[in-house]
Amino acid sequence: MASQLIQAGIIGVGSYVPNKVLTNNDLEKIVNTSDEWITSRTGIKERRVAEPEQAASDLAFEAGRKALEHAGLPPEEIGLIIVATSTPDMFFPSTACLVQEKLKCVNASAFDLSAACTGFIYALNVGKQFINTGAEKYVLVIGAEVLTRIVNWQDRTTCVLFGDGAGAAVLGPVPQGRGIISSYMAAEGAGASLLTLPGCGSRIPLTPQSVEQGLHFISMKGKEVYKFAVRVMEEGTQRVLQQAGMKVEDLDMYIPHQANIRIIEHAAKKIKLPMEKVLVNVDRYGNTSAASVPLALDEAVKQGKIKSGDNVLLIGFGAGLTCAAVLVRWA
Ligand code: ACO
């Protein structure tokens, strides 16, 4: 008889944002933009900015510490740490190893995962497998970004969109029928050029010329990414619901990647989901990439918006292009 897989669920959450707030009015002094344009096109009112001495691992540490506390687990119980980030402290070592040391998760292996804004959901999917198979009992998944370091503050088409933050979840065994009940991951490399940070890698190494050309900054074809986002949010949602034999009406809470309120509302309309069930905090944090879904999830949990038995759908999309979703029956 085949042995039954161990069911994986989210047993603790945490998040952290830097104190410094950058409002749309502040941005009006930096680039040729307006609060009216940013609010009407994106829904963003303000975002957080890390202090100069803070890097991704510092934000990740704070979020991870709170998630461990919430789960009631000592750090040595964690067997694996995955940090999803596009803004690691450095190329190597991984930010996950730096977090392992800061948190004193002495028994954990650790690696970073690169899937841009989809990173946290990809990482949940990866971490889940270790629990399903019994390879690890507890996995710490973190999304952490300091995107304000990689935006061009002279480019109004991108610098108004992004912010800094971190969110974390502890995965662990939960009763059958609870936890992550279905999941979906996809990639469309054909769209890779739509959203890139082209410089500083092995293709275009860091040189005075690459810096002069601004190749160390985010570059994005916003309209194309917008269309992709709406399409895959609908596809991803349908896929995880179908896999679980559920309908949109069965959802209690929908936590999408917080890139733009128009994308969220457009997708919600297409899937016929009332906005009351959608967690939105893009107005306060902007797009924090891999941190956005866990930041929103932590907010929902801590505000008592998610209760045991609720069906919660987490969905992300981003550079790659990538998309992923998980459907969680809250333990
Ligand atoms: N302030 C004022 N005007 C601006 C600004 C600004 N900050 N930015 C652009 N404009 C101008 C443009 O120059 C353009 O002017 P023009 O018509 O004279 O040329 C005009 O506003 C309209 O620009 P569009 O790019 O057509 O604006 P759009 O309605 O498409 O909104 C936006 C742009 C907000 C970027 C939208 O396309 C979007 O949200 N796309 C998705 C982006 C996204 O989600 N990215 C993250 C993906 S996740 C990840 O992996 C990072």
pLDDT > 70? residue 125:
yes
Q: Of the residues 42, 226, 265, which should be mutated to test ligand 1's pocket, given the most ligand atoms within 8 Å of the CB? A: 226
| Domains of the chain, each with CATH number or no CATH | 8-176 (3.40.47.10), 180-329 (3.40.47.10)
pLDDT mean across residues, the chain: 97
Instruction: List, for residues 276-316, the tens digit of each pLDDT value.
Output: 999 999 999 999 999 999 999 999 999 999 999 999 999 99
**Are the C-beta atoms of residues 86 and 56 closer than 8 Å to each other?**
no
Nearest CA to ligand 1 atom 3: 33
Instruction: List, for residues 9-24, the tens digit of each pLDDT value.
Output: 999 999 999 999 999 9
- Measured between alpha carbons, how far is 61 from 39 in angstroms, rounded to an integer? 31
Kindly name the residue from 159, 257, 260, 311 that is annotated as catalytic.
257
Q: Write down the pTM of the prediction.
A: 0.97
**Does the Cβ of 287 fall within 6 Å of ligand 1?**
yes
Number of C-beta neighbours around residue 291 at 10 A: 37
pLDDT > 90? residue 4:
no
**Does the Cβ of 125 fall within 6 Å of ligand 1?**
no
Atom in ligand 1 nearest the alpha carbon of residue 147:
51
**Does the Cβ of 149 fall within 6 Å of ligand 1?**
no
Atom in ligand 1 nearest the alpha carbon of residue 263:
39
Q: Give me the pLDDT at residue 2, please.
A: 54
Q: In this prediction, what percent of the chain has a pLDDT beyond 70?
A: 99
pLDDT > 80? residue 3:
no
Instruction: List, for residues 186-227, the tens digit of each pLDDT value.
Output: 999 999 999 999 999 999 999 999 999 999 999 999 999 999
Candidates 149, 113, 97; CA nearest to 316 is 113
**Does the Cβ of 199 fall within 6 Å of ligand 1?**
no
Cα distances (angstroms) measured from residue 76 to each of 167, 172, 216: 20, 14, 37
- Measured between alpha carbons, how far is 165 from 49 in angstroms, rounded to an integer? 8
Q: In degrees rounded to 5, what are phi and psi of residue 49?
A: -130, 125
Q: Give me the pLDDT at residue 94, please.
A: 98
**Does the Cβ of 24 fall within 6 Å of ligand 1?**
no
Instruction: List, for residues 55-69, the tens digit of each pLDDT value.
Output: 999 999 999 999 999
Kindly name the residue from 24, 287, 311, 323 that is annotated as catalytic.
287
**Does the Cβ of 238 fall within 6 Å of ligand 1?**
no
Instruction: List, for residues 30-54, the tens digit of each pLDDT value.
Output: 999 999 999 999 999 999 999 999 9
Q: In this prediction, what percent of the chain has a pLDDT beyond 90?
A: 99
Q: What is the DSSP string of 90-149?
A: SSSS-HHHHHHHHHT-TT-EEEEE--GGGHHHHHHHHHHHHHHTTS-S-EEEEEEEEGGG
**Residue 222 CA to ligand 1 centre (angstroms):** 6
Q: Give me the pLDDT at residue 1, please.
A: 46
Instruction: List, for residues 100-120, the tens digit of each pLDDT value.
Output: 999 999 999 999 999 999 999
287 an active-site residue? Answer: yes
**Does the Cβ of 226 fall within 6 Å of ligand 1?**
yes
**Residue 5 CA to ligand 1 centre (angstroms):** 45
User: From the DSSP assignment, how many helices (H) and strands (E) are in the chain?
Assistant: 11, 13
Kindly name the residue from 24, 97, 105, 117 that is annotated as catalytic.
117
Atom in ligand 1 nearest the alpha carbon of residue 159:
7
